[in-house]
Structure 1
Amino acid sequence: MSQTYFQGVHHICMKVDDIQQSIDFYTSKLGYALRLKWDGGAMLKSPDGTHLEFFPVDEEKGYAHVAYVCTDVDAAYADLLKSGCTSVSAPESLTIPSEPGLPVRIAFVRDPAGNKIELFKEM
């Protein structure tokens, strides 16, 4: 890749049995603060600015993906596909349904080893 679109890790997503229990543990024991909570998910922020995201367990349990902050999700997605990644979902704009809502641009790919990567930009 001649241009880098990546600025670092935004969040790590974990699939958990009990979202509130995970919120309580990470806020009381590891110093995270609740940033967003919505029906079926939550996002916490650490003192250094990185985030954890929680979703309920489905076919995945544990770490589901790592999300990277991108300056241009669409261009990064296209470059990664050219370099051997496979598409999980094409770029889309959506709003995380919380109060207040968080508008984002996201896409998902799998790296050559099969790990799921989220391309993430807050709008």
Structure 2
Amino acid sequence: MHIKAIHHIAILTDDYEKSKAFYTDVLGFTVISEVYREQRNSYKLDLAINGLYQIELFSFPDYRERASFPEAKGLRHLAFLVDDVAASAAELKAKGVDVQDVRIDEWTGKKFVFFYDPNGQPLELYEQ
């Protein structure tokens, strides 16, 4: 097997419109496709990041809350690469997103910051 790249990351939401606005208007992802699947009573929204990777945003009526605190097994967070963490964090704050303080990775010396999407999914900005 030769894995070439990450194809997509799936995120489940309980408030589809709020999450769609967050990922498109706040984070700036572009919509690849959007479909309502009547048999599942569910939306599926495919989003692009610079045309390279996708996030699949799903709405399902039967969801479970994410177990995060204390730390839960499984996907811990999703990190996005940016040129300037401080400027990006300030932009998020200006858009009403609660952002933690910028920190420095003790191993790489790079800046990073955490914040959450409307579903409580931990997200990170990591400086290139």
TM-score range with shorter-chain normalisation? 0.3 to 0.5
Higher relative contact order (Cα pairs below 8 Å, separated by 6+ residues):
1
Of structures 1 and 2, the larger Rg is shown by 2
More strand by share: 1
With normalisation by structure 1, the TM-score equals 0.44
